[in-house]
Amino acid sequence: MRLGVRISILQKEGGIIKLQITVRLLLVMVAAVIIATLSLPVDAKEKVLTVGIENQPKTMDPRFSTDAYGMSISHHLLFSTLVQHGQDLQIVPNLAKGWETPDSITYIFHLRKNVRFHDGKPLTAKDVKFTFEHLKNPETGSPFAGTYKIIDSIRVIDNETVEFKLVQPVASFLTSIIMPIVPEHLIKGGTDFNGSLIGSGPFRFIKQTPNEIVLGKSPDYFMGSPKIDKVVFKVIKDDNTRFLKMRKGELDLLINAIPLQKVDDFRKSPLKDTYEVIEDPGLSYNYIIFNMKSELLQDVKLRQAIAYGINVDQIIKYRMDGHAAPSYSMLSPVNWFSEPAAMRYSYDPKKAEQLLDEAGLADSDGDGPKPRLKLELKTSNNPETVGIARIIQAQLAETGIEVDLKSYEWGTFYGDIKSGNFQMTIMRWVGVTEPDFYYDVFNSTQFPPAGRNRGLYENPEIDRLTEEGRVELDPNKRKAIYSKIQKIAARELPYVSLWHRNNVSIVHKRVSGYQQHPMGGFLSFNRIDLAE
């Protein structure tokens, strides 16, 4: 095709030259603009993962966050830790690509190269040193300060190498340092860090309102940029509202955030065509704790009678719709340190009555209404907990134990537990992975207010074993120590183990790449993708 282009000077007025351009040339120019416009990249629709959560985190600043959502968002999404728990709960590399232990109190970590914070500044060994010294400093006011008293010194060898010296061998050290690394240049610079939350994780902080938290992907994340553009956490406090929003497709994912009685709705038509239910054994541990200073409860036969008098299987079936498993130890069966040979207490009311007789708590009126004894069971006023307590109350009544149930708002209840103002109570530990936790809850040096041995349990052998377990670095020898501890605890019953609750995720089928972790949380979010 021949383009006819004719330009002629028509007139010159006041220094302005007027040109005549043929129509054909004008059309060519317009077409070129259109083609150029069409060739420009068009932004694809953002991939936004919408997740329902029950409560707003109190803070996502990892230096101070202690609630489940705050820690999961900070530890898994906004920031990075030196190491983390793998799917089998073993310690695996993260920011640290590896480490070595020249002796029992020295750990040398080798960091990945070219890791950057979300503001573009490099993350180096100096930030690692600063993080743990900052947390350890009482002036910081971190609730984790006591954890890092085990650290004697931290030395930066080079930008990618850092050395920790401990005051003594600590078997749980690698678990204890699963703590987000924070940027020294911002915190020392006086930045409102709680408002910026600049970390080095797969997602960066965008905004927080009373009803939602918005995160955007970090294109420079050292493990590779996430496939989704944003994560939006919707804070929905009401269980039924959260269920309905998931059912309507307004949410993509719920993790341990749906009433257990509603789970199977998503396994039936028509919802099963749109949603997947992922259910695996979890770490959340429910138990009854005894106050060992109560004269009655000092008798192990009474404690064992109570264990035999509780029908855990019935509670799981009818109160939890089967979404839990009876427990025999504080450690879940998915934990390598769990001891399956620990003594178990299947429901046996006749055995309970026999033990009560042996304890001198005879049935004085046969089939009459008079109880053998009376005990107080104190709980929070959480409806689920109160409902479970009432079932236990009815079950123990069948063996002649009258239970006086008293429930209080959380602050009053928790204050009573810490001060020892109770006989029995129902409580829960969330996410126990490290067997050294037995030191915290059963060693006699850990009585409140400083420690968490709230049942005031004392046993010299347990004291010795929990102290040995803390410093034994050989995994197999350590496992043998904690096997003994679990067997003794099951026999003596400072706690009655009830159940480990399953992890349950409801996942919309447009979501791919999500992997449920035994600890719950959001560790796999950097691998999630969404179908168009």
Q: Which three-class secondary structure state does DSSP give residue 470?
A: helix
* More confidently predicted of 136 and 18: 136
What percent of the chain has a predicted confidence (pLDDT) above 70?
92
DSSP 54: S
pLDDT at 271: 96
Q: What is the pLDDT of residue 496?
A: 98
Given a cut of 90, whether residue 1 has pLDDT beyond it is no
- Please report, in angstroms and rounded to a whole number, the separation of the first and last CA atoms in the chain: 43
pLDDT at 113: 95
pLDDT tens-digit readout, 493-504: 999 999 999 999
Least confident of 30-34, 54-58, 343-347, 501-505: 30-34
pLDDT in the model for residue 41: 43
pLDDT at 470: 94
Model confidence pLDDT, tens digit, residues 192-235: 898 899 999 999 999 999 999 999 999 999 999 999 999 999 99
CATH topology of domain 80-191: Dipeptide-binding Protein; domain 1 (3.90.76)
In single-letter form, the type of residue at position 25 comes to L
456-496 tens-digit pLDDT:
999 999 999 999 999 999 999 999 999 999 999 999 999 99
- Fold (CATH) for 285-501: Dipeptide-binding Protein; domain 3 (3.10.105)
Q: Of 305-319, 332-346, 363-377, give the lowest mean pLDDT range.
A: 363-377
Write down the pLDDT at residue 44: 63
pLDDT at residue 369, as a whole number: 79
Confidence class for position 25, pLDDT limits 50, 70, 90: very low
Strands (E), 416-494: 424-429
pLDDT bucket at 15, cuts 50 / 70 / 90: very low
d(Cα 509, Cα 429) in Å, to the nearest integer? 32
The per-residue pLDDT for range 72-87, each reduced to its tens digit, is: 999 999 999 999 999 9
**C-alpha to C-alpha distance for 361 and 229, rounded to whole angstroms:** 65
pLDDT (mean) for 24-49 = 54
Residue 12 reports pLDDT greater than 50: no
Asked if domains 203-280+503-530 and 285-501 share a fold, the reply is: no
Res. 42: pLDDT tops 50: no
Predicted local confidence at residue 221, as pLDDT? 97
Name 199's Cβ contacts closer than 8 Å, sequence gap at least 6: 62, 74, 78, 79, 80, 117, 118, 180, 181, 182, 183, 205
Spell out the domain ranges in the chain. Answer: 8-39, 80-191, 203-280+503-530, 285-501
Quote the tokens at residue 316.
């799981």
Averaged pLDDT score across all residues of the chain: 91
In angstroms, rounded to a whole number, what is the distance separating the alpha carbons of residues 197 and 199? Answer: 6
CATH of the domain spanning 203-280+503-530, picked from 3.30.230.10, 3.40.190.10, 3.30.70.870, 3.40.50.720: 3.40.190.10
* Nearest-10 crossing angle of helices 300-308, 349-358: 170
Q: Which of the residue ranges 10-19, 25-34, 86-95, 196-205 would you say has the lowest mean pLDDT? A: 10-19
pLDDT-derived band of residue 66, with 50, 70 and 90 as boundaries?
confident
CA gap 157, 162 in Å, rounded: 6
Tens-place pLDDT, residues 238-297: 999 999 999 999 999 999 999 999 999 999 999 999 999 999 999 999 999 999 999 999
Average pLDDT over residues 178-194: 92
Q: Tell me which residue of 485, 482, 444, 478 sits closest to 170, measured CA to CA.
A: 478
Q: What is the pLDDT of residues 141-179, one digit of tens each?
A: 999 998 999 999 999 999 999 999 999 999 999 999 999
Between CA 325 and CA 341 the distance in angstroms is 16
Structure confidence at residue 163 (pLDDT): 98
Please write the tens of the pLDDT for every residue from 88-130.
999 999 999 999 999 999 999 999 999 999 999 999 999 999 9
Question: What does the angle CA 497 – CA 321 – CA 386 come to, to the nearest 5 degrees?
Answer: 60
pLDDT at 21 over 90: no
26, pLDDT greater than 60: no
Per-residue pLDDT at 54 exceeds 90: yes
